[in-house]
Amino acid sequence: MSLGRCSSEVAERDVWSTHMSRLPRYRFSGSTRYCPLRKSQWIGEWPGPACSMAAGILIACCYLTAGCAQEEPEDATAEAVADREIYNSEQEALPLSSVAEAVAAMELAPGFTVELFAGEPDVQNPIAACTDAQGRVWVAENYTYAERALRFDMDLNDRVLVLEDRDGDGQCDRRKVFYSGAKVLTGIAVGRGGVWLMCPPQVLFVPDVDNDLRPDGPPQVVLDGFTVGRENYHNFANGLSWGPDNWLYGRCGASAAGEIGLPGSGPEERIPLRGGIWRYHPETRAVEVLNQGTTNPWGHDWNSVGELFFINTVNGHFWHSIPGAHYDRPHTVDANRHVYQLLDTHADHWHFDTGKGWTASRDGAANDFGGGHAHIGMLLYQERLWPLPHDRSILTINMHGRRINMDLLDRRGSGYVARHGPDFLLSRDVWFRALDLIPLPDGNALLIDWSDIGECHEATGVHRQSGRIYRIAYTAPGDGASSDHTTARGPRFDPAGPLPEVIDAALAGPEWHARRAREWLVAQRLAGAPAEAAIARSRSVLSNASAPTYQRLRGLWLAHALGGVAGDALRELLEDPAPEIRTWAIRLLIDQARIDRVDGRRPADEGQPVPPDLIDRLVRMAADEPDSAVRLTLASTLQRLPLAARADLAIALMQHDDGEDHNIPLMVWYGVLPLGDAAADRLLPLVRQCSWPTTVRLLSRRIAAASRQNPALLDALVQIAAERQPEARRTMVFGMGEALAGWLKAPRPASWEALVAATADDADPQLQQTIQTLNVLFGDGRAIEELKRIAGDDSQPLDVRRAALESLVQSGAPGLRDLCRRLLKTRFLNTTALEGLARYPDPQIAEWLLTNYRKFHPFDRPQVIAALATRAAWAKQLLQAVATGRIDASEIPAFVARQIAALEDPELDRLLAEVWGQVRATPADRAAKIAELKEFLTSGALDQADVEHGQQVFVKQCGACHRLFGIGGNIGPDLTGAQRSNLDYLLDNIVDPSAVVTKEFRATVLLLDDDRVLTGLVTSEDDSVITLATQERTYRIPKEMVVSRKQSNVSVMPEGLLQPLSREEIRDLFGYLQAGLAQ
């Protein structure tokens, strides 16, 4: 292992004085000071058998010469990290390891060396990094991430550094701060005229067109809506990198449920993000969520044929990124409740004992398995320098195991499998918290180390003044010299070199050089440079059938990115002899048709529709395609096609023997699943022709589930099952049994006896048990006690338990109260339990709900608050919980406050005024508030409004009821054509909405026979049912439940909407309300 290059003859006195004269100066809080490194960090005891002062001096020398010797001056956009100095909240139970100690604690295979590229104080809290076309290293430093109680310290700023190794010795010798105004910085990519930063809830672009390492202007918000979870805040969106298809890719954890889109997009235009991989096209401004699930992806990379893989934690560490996939997720539920079965990990092993669970894999307990459950960063090594299996070696950091795991990638069926390989690196340093591996131009790599003793949950604080970037290099075994930095094989990329050499590097260079050259050529084309030479050369390579497939793919990617391959040329490639070329031809042909949302709906912007003749071509291709990987791409393509075209392609794919494939049966299912939502009878031809067990079972389940609304579907399904061969028939019965597992009773299908007779000779015990269970269901019905058992059984699937509990709630079953109380602890089932408990006028229930409030998913908690406001006794306990801090006042929206006021209880009015504010202010108060806001909201103030943020405030405060620019609810008036230019009109109607209110917008108060009081707008009514819309939900209430009904003289729009907002939020909201008006 190499620590640096220095002479052992340097005296201790010279080492120390030389270092102090060279120590770089940094600005913090407008002052200049030396960074506070302890002398013991440079001169200390060598952790080896023979410790001497000479050895200590050698370590010190190596450490000191490894720092970035030159720091360029910072400009106005890259000043101090914060208004106050950065600080460590980590309680240092263990002293920070010196660099020498940390390096000595690393074990690698023979021939590999580790040395410091840059470390504290030059780099601190590095969370992500990338390289640019010049080989410079761009580092994202995150200071805002904090311990669990604080989550983020927004008084600090995050920072982007540029580190450079100008003399090629493997160590940083120039450092520059590029930008220091970021918050919650978690990812970075460079290209297309600037720097792209992942800063949840936003993706920012910092322009630097002239590449002088100085921002050309303030950051631009490219995307927003990347919500940071309230509890699992470490699962936020992270990581950015350019894909071979010219899109920008990123990741997100499943607990950080967001609604992403372009700034200013309304709710319907946004795309739900529920974990997984997303991408953005900077030219077309299209955004997609490609797949969803897993726990917390934190690393991704492509192999040589452009297949994307990502690293995850907890529920399997390795995944093949398949567009449209729904992956397994341990702590959240899929956004589409009819998915039923999720795609499992693409590794054949785990790095912890799954029998003991992931929580038992810390502190070395899982070392024999591979280290533990938490995986971070990913490098799929594709260079030729390191002696690792080429294009197969997956390197990922195992946090609790303090090591780098290596998996070996192999083809299996339609996709890939990661097999257990030997660990690449082991560290004994307790401060080792590496986050990523970054490839370098010479074929070596950098290891980004956060350097802390906590974990991602950070219960113990954050050590912000530490951080290292190590360089891992390879030399021939036994050779103590540094690796030859010219050993990368093939044409090398030099942005200052001749254009033909740049093109050659993009097409035939080592992987790092090929990617950077392609990105550089695309950026040059966007800047107006001619691209004809690059297009001609790339098309020539693509058409050369004797060239290696990976080079032909590089030609395809480059030509397509430059606009040189499209339409007919891509269609010709559908017949190419190489399956990888056929795969990418399909992808690029349908790339501009948007993929289904994760909830199965089509996005508001469907992109460019796939032409009908191309769909016919793909159907013919699917019928004859010999390669399962191409068939997987076709299965993924289903989710980009019009619903009416999906069945033909699915049926063509079903003719192949892919029933046992890991991916294809589920991907076809995900593609046709939306047919069940639109018209489930469209699934009947599919279940008749499909022979894949998994897909047959899921199709049968969805059709049977839809028969609650259309009993004829179950009749048709049973008839098909009676006519199928025994294996398919058996699978169809299992699917019906799963669908009806939670039902209390169902009508007997006309063909049921024929199906029973057809299965009489089948000895399968599970089949006969399912037939008996369905017989009961189709006869006298299932016993109430059986449904209770199902709902309370943790081993049953969540959707089956939910269906059973829904049946119990709908039937008003005896004993429901106690069952629902128990189920309040079960996330995603507790919303149904809440609905059941809402019927009981028991004061104890309010305490049960408050006790279990945090057990509800954040998206579901507003339902709890709304339910607590429907009864006086419950509302009192809710307000008392606010007074004691159990519930934050900001979690009570204005409409809930109005609901509490409608209970007409003086004590509640007093409590509400104390902990939340007045619901109905006096005329004088309202007039004073209007005058105050009018004085504040001047034209100058509104010119400073952040309209994009104002749109977010509108969606949260107003969008449930009002529409603006075609987006929002329909309860209140559409504001687009209202008098938005008149500030007085806006203030009068927002501050005092009941001053003038028409009859159709007056609130209606209903007292129900279970003592609940509901306040809302009656949107429809017939002889038997009243439909009442509130901001939280819509109720369909049987008239026999209504004890009394009163129409209020006040508007359904609550007062106090502005009360919880800051002045900046009010300014931004009004700026958005008046957006688009002629000046």
CA distances from 628 to 415, 553, 579, 632, 656 (A): 8, 19, 9, 6, 9
**Residue 532: what pLDDT?**
96
**Residue 1060 pLDDT class (50, 70, 90 cuts):** confident
**Residue 607 pLDDT class (50, 70, 90 cuts):** very high
Q: Is pLDDT at 79 greater than 70 in this prediction?
A: no
**Residue 856: what pLDDT?**
92
**Residue 486: what pLDDT?**
41
Read off φ and ψ for residue 161, nearest 5 degrees.
-110, 155
Read off φ and ψ for residue 852, nearest 5 degrees.
-100, 15
- Given a contact cutoff of 8 angstroms between Cβ atoms, the answer to whether 49 and 153 are in contact is no
Tokens of 30: 């407008």
**pLDDT one-digit tens code per residue, 1049-1059:** 666 666 677 87
Tokens of 334: 């899929």
Task: Report the distance separating Cα 753 and Cα 750, nearest Å.
Answer: 8
Mean per-residue pLDDT of the chain: 85
What domains sit in the chain, N to C, each tagged with a CATH number?
929-1073 (2.30.30.100)
Read off φ and ψ for residue 722, nearest 5 degrees.
-65, -25
3-class DSSP state of 928:
helix
Percent of the chain with pLDDT over 70: 85
**Residue 490: what pLDDT?**
77
Task: Report the distance separating Cα 837 and Cα 284, nearest Å.
Answer: 49
**Residue 18: what pLDDT?**
29
- The lowest-confidence range among 104-108, 234-238, 734-738 is 234-238
Task: Report the distance separating Cα 791 and Cα 17, nearest Å.
Answer: 73
- Given a contact cutoff of 8 angstroms between Cβ atoms, the answer to whether 103 and 66 are in contact is no
Task: Report the distance separating Cα 864 and Cα 846, nearest Å.
Answer: 9
Task: Report the distance separating Cα 920 and Cα 878, nearest Å.
Answer: 20
**Residue 114: what pLDDT?**
97
Task: Report the distance separating Cα 153 and Cα 137, nearest Å.
Answer: 26
- Given a contact cutoff of 8 angstroms between Cβ atoms, the answer to whether 379 and 239 are in contact is no
**Residue 436: what pLDDT?**
96
Q: C-alpha angle with apex 123: 135 to 406, nearest 5 degrees?
A: 65
CA 79, 80, 82, 86 torsion-angle sign: positive
Running DSSP on this structure, what letter comes out for residue 491? Answer: P
Q: Is pLDDT at 968 greater than 60 in this prediction?
A: no
**Residue 48: what pLDDT?**
31
Q: Is pLDDT at 878 greater than 50 in this prediction?
A: yes
Percent of the chain with pLDDT over 90: 60
Tokens 């795991």 correspond to what residue? 405
Q: Is pLDDT at 127 greater than 60 in this prediction?
A: yes
The β-bridge partners of 375 are: 398
- Nearest Cα to Cα of residue 63 among 123, 6, 144, 140: 6
Q: What is the pTM of this model?
A: 0.79
Q: Is pLDDT at 46 greater than 50 in this prediction?
A: no
Running DSSP on this structure, what letter comes out for residue 85? Answer: -
What is the signed CA dihedral for 544, 548, 552, 554, rounded to 10 degrees? Answer: -150
**Residue 1: what pLDDT?**
35
**pLDDT one-digit tens code per residue, 910-951:** 999 889 876 655 577 777 888 888 888 887 888 888 877 787
3-class DSSP state of 1047:
strand
Q: Is pLDDT at 429 greater than 70 in this prediction?
A: yes
**pLDDT one-digit tens code per residue, 309-328:** 999 988 899 999 999 999 99
Helices (H) then strands (E): counts for the chain: 33, 37
**Residue 1072 pLDDT class (50, 70, 90 cuts):** confident
Per residue, the 3-state secondary structure of 844-900, as one string, reads: HHHHHHHHCHHHCCCCCHHHHHHHHCCCHHHHHHHHHHHHHCCCCHHHCCHHHHHHH
Tokens of 786: 């059986």
List CB contacts of 937: < 8 A, sequence separation 6 or more.
983, 987, 1066, 1067, 1070
List CB contacts of 385: < 8 A, sequence separation 6 or more.
442, 443, 444, 474, 483, 487, 488
Complete DSSP assignment for 47-105: SSSS--HHHHHHHHHHHHHTS--EEPPP-TTS--SBSS-----S--SSPPPPHHHHHHT
- Nearest Cα to Cα of residue 327 among 437, 409, 252, 236: 252
CA distances from 974 to 311, 978, 991, 1030 (A): 45, 7, 18, 17
List CB contacts of 43: < 8 A, sequence separation 6 or more.
12, 15, 16, 56, 57, 59, 60
**Residue 779: what pLDDT?**
86
Question: Residue 1053 is which amino acid?
Answer: M
- Given a contact cutoff of 8 angstroms between Cβ atoms, the answer to whether 498 and 489 are in contact is no
**Residue 67 pLDDT class (50, 70, 90 cuts):** low
Read off φ and ψ for residue 213, nearest 5 degrees.
65, 30
**pLDDT one-digit tens code per residue, 559-592:** 999 999 999 999 999 999 999 999 999 999 999 9
Tokens 């395809």 correspond to what residue? 556
Task: Report the distance separating Cα 688 and Cα 398, nearest Å.
Answer: 47
